[in-house]
Structure 1
Amino acid sequence: MSQVIADNENLGGSPGLHIALHSISLDIPQRVEIPLRYVIKGLPSLESKHMIYLHVLKMGDGANLVYHGITKRGWMKRYNEHTVRAIREESPLLFHRALRDGCLARLRQLGIEQAQTIQGVSSAHGQMIGNHHVVCAAGLTEDEAMEHEEYLVEKYSFGRADGLNMIPGGRAGLRYLHHLKALKKEERPILDDERDTILERLARSSPRKGMPNPLLAEHWLNPEYAARVICGSGDRFTLDQVAQIRRLASTGTPIAEIRRELQFESARRIRNILSGKTYSRVRTEA
């Protein structure tokens, strides 16, 4: 069953197509949400463009576990790849562990014999009772996608009890991996499986087997540490520049004037700072 929702919260209030499905293997409801503008005939092709997606795992204890990602290959292909890493490869990443544990707990509930013999399954959230997939944005350039992912992961997932993203989104995540010496070329975009592989290597190197180093998220929640990681490399704004932008805006200075005074080319990047879409972890005094 499908229907058009005029005001969709997950899609920023824009109209969206809702598709109701049912998983035969798990016997649970599934829902897909796609912005209506991406399915109307005659629009420009999305091929080779970036997409931001959201997966929500609805668990038996009432938790809705969220994971945001970025890809150029389609959300369904990525979800299938995540499932393979979770079930077959026993990936230690938070999203993969939650997906594996939820699926296996559900299969056990259904009496599937093969699921009864698998060891090492946590039942912290119980079985998965549904899942929800959202195309948050598509047809994006690399820079647009990086900014979208950074904002969504920061706001809804990283460091939160129901969040499954293990690093910040977008270029903040690249900086984070570079700071951990897990990525040599910090500005080089990494997507999909390559990022998962790097994170798995970090998680498996943790002193606690199968768990990410708990100090990583704790460091990131420290504003001073976050500012050192995020600011001042490549084309990133420095801490002083972020402070100047916020100070000028607080006095009513128009964005066009801020751009001229600080000799920045992009008004969009200034707007993103002021709206909290980027650099929200960076604390400054106005």
Structure 2
Amino acid sequence: MPTNFSPAAFEHLLFPLHRSVYTSIERKLCYAEASRPGSLAGAAAFARRTNGLGTLEPVPKDLLEDIRLPDFDIRLVVAGDGKLRKETRHKAEFTPHSQRPSLGYPGAHLVVVVATHTHQHAFIMPLGFALRALEDVTLRPGGFQVYQHHLYPSTDPLLFAPQIDGQKTELPYKTLASSGLLYTGLTGRSWARRYQEHKYAAGRGSQTLFHIALRGEFFHVVKTEHEILRAGLDRDTAVHVEEVVIEERSLYPVHQRGLNMIPGGDAGLRFLARLGRSGTRRPDPEAGDEAYIDGLNEMLGARRTGCAPDASAIARLWAEDLDFRIGATCGRADRLSQLQITFARIWSACGWDEDKIAGKLNGIDHRRANTGQVRRLLSGQSYNEIPNVLPKAGKPRGRDPDEDDPSGS
């Protein structure tokens, strides 16, 4: 029986593996503790104390003063050609932090790579979540998880199953972050079950960006990373963390590679309540995507037609050709784009104020946005003829992270 590693927590957060794999992880943990005493307690303390924070929120110094943080991650590579529970081919090794990119990975992590000859899947969690010392958090009944999915189109040589002696392996940290897409979510069950539900919805033709990406309409997905950010949270904390992380990292079109179409947390729940999709009950934090797509389709259908003032050819074109209407209204560079218009309405329904909306819109589609434009839009003084239109499949649009702010600020 492992003394440091928690098979129960690992299987609750990820999936079962062969006992020989757990033995290898335990050996690495014992060696790490002997080499750097106190590091495992530090990993558990860090995971516990940051569990209610967003991934980019600064960690208060007083939370770190009395703990010794590990200076390594543990990488586990498992052959993925058969059933994982029975698979014994694996490799466990340390990855010093000095060898990993500085891409938003504070603390220490356990990274499980499941590799085949065609695809590569990585599963990432804070190392503390895999320890017995944190079972009161990770195994908390009714606890929520906040997770992220990273989808990559890489055609680079893949990490094959470790069945050849001496074969070089490389950890799939976000080396393809410049070309990957990112989705953030929360669940009160398990991220894996929720992911299967997303794949089912994608297969049924759902038009949310995440589901479009899962179908491979943006690019053929070759590599995925499934990252557990937080675990064992109460509902209110999970909703807060999700809202912070989505706004920080994956809200489309603020983040060009983001796949979340509504703000998370309380802002997203306010949107559902505004649409009347939660009834008298408190909105389900897991129902955002499905309720959003239904509500937006209703809004879109109500405003597509019936705008023609007379029977002239131009009037009919205006009423029947949505692209013509959008081009005529939004064509000039000093006007808001259709994408800005749609998401301004969404964010307003989420409870964002006009100043915040204008700040987030500024730069999207290479267009500037100011509070006055947003105020006139939301009050119905302008852009009434432009419906709420979902982004079409193709390369996602949005603010280019490498582009200067058009406002000059």
Q: TM-score range by the shorter chain?
A: 0.5 to 0.7
Q: Which has the higher contact order (CA 8 A, sep 6+)?
A: 1
Question: d(CA) in 2 for partners of 1:13 and 1:82?
Answer: 28
Q: State TM-score, norm by structure 1.
A: 0.60
Give the C-alpha shift of residue 227 in structure 1: 2.0
- Per the alignment, residue 226 of structure 1 pairs with 352
Q: Please, which runs of 5 or more residues in structure 1 have no aligned partner? A: 103-121, 231-286
Question: d(CA) in 1 for partners of 2:277 and 2:291?
Answer: 7
Give the C-alpha shift of residue 189 in structure 1: 4.1
Question: Given the superposition, is the C-alpha separation of residues 179 and 138 from structure 1 closer, same or farther in structure 2, using an over 3 Å criterion?
Answer: same
Give the C-alpha shift of residue 32 in structure 1: 0.6
C-alpha distance after superposition, 1:147-186 (max 9, x if no partner)? 1101100011113221111110101111122334444448
Question: Given the superposition, is the C-alpha separation of residues 225 and 79 from structure 1 closer, same or farther in structure 2, using an over 3 Å criterion?
Answer: closer
The residue type paired with residue 73 of structure 1 is R
Of the candidates 62, 66, 84, which is equivalent to residue 182 of structure 2? 66
- Per the alignment, residue 57 of structure 1 pairs with 151
- Higher strand proportion, which one? 1
- Per the alignment, residue 115 of structure 2 pairs with 22
SS in 2 for 1:83: helix
Are 2:260 and 1:172 equivalent residues in the alignment?
no
Question: Does the 8 A contact of 1:52 with 1:70 survive in 2?
Answer: yes
- Per the alignment, residue 155 of structure 1 pairs with 248
Give the C-alpha shift of residue 126 in structure 1: 2.4
Root-mean-square deviation over aligned CA pairs: 3.3
C-alpha distance after superposition, 1:170-225 (max 9, x if no partner)? 01111122334444448x14133x3333123124433489xxx9444133568x97
Give the C-alpha shift of residue 29 in structure 1: 0.9
- Per the alignment, residue 40 of structure 1 pairs with 131
Are 2:234 and 1:138 equivalent residues in the alignment?
no
The structure having more radius of gyration, on CA atoms, is 2
Question: Given the superposition, is the C-alpha separation of residues 84 and 155 from structure 1 closer, same or farther in structure 2, using an over 3 Å criterion?
Answer: same
Question: Given the superposition, is the C-alpha separation of residues 156 and 182 from structure 1 closer, same or farther in structure 2, using an over 3 Å criterion?
Answer: same
Are 2:286 and 1:202 equivalent residues in the alignment?
no
Question: Does the 8 A contact of 1:54 with 1:134 survive in 2?
Answer: yes
The residue type paired with residue 174 of structure 1 is L
The residue type paired with residue 98 of structure 1 is A
TM superposition outliers: structure 1 runs of 4+ over 4 Å? 2-12
Q: How does 1:82-121 map to 2 (within 5 A)?
A: 82-87=198-203, 89-100=204-215, 102=216
Question: d(CA) in 2 for partners of 1:202 and 1:32?
Answer: 33
Question: Does the 8 A contact of 1:4 with 1:16 survive in 2?
Answer: no
The residue type paired with residue 33 of structure 1 is I
Question: Given the superposition, is the C-alpha separation of residues 4 and 135 from structure 1 closer, same or farther in structure 2, using an over 3 Å criterion?
Answer: farther
Question: d(CA) in 1 for partners of 2:121 and 2:146?
Answer: 19
Question: Does the 8 A contact of 1:14 with 1:35 survive in 2?
Answer: yes
Question: d(CA) in 1 for partners of 2:94 and 2:292?
Answer: 37
Question: d(CA) in 2 for partners of 1:78 and 1:69?
Answer: 9
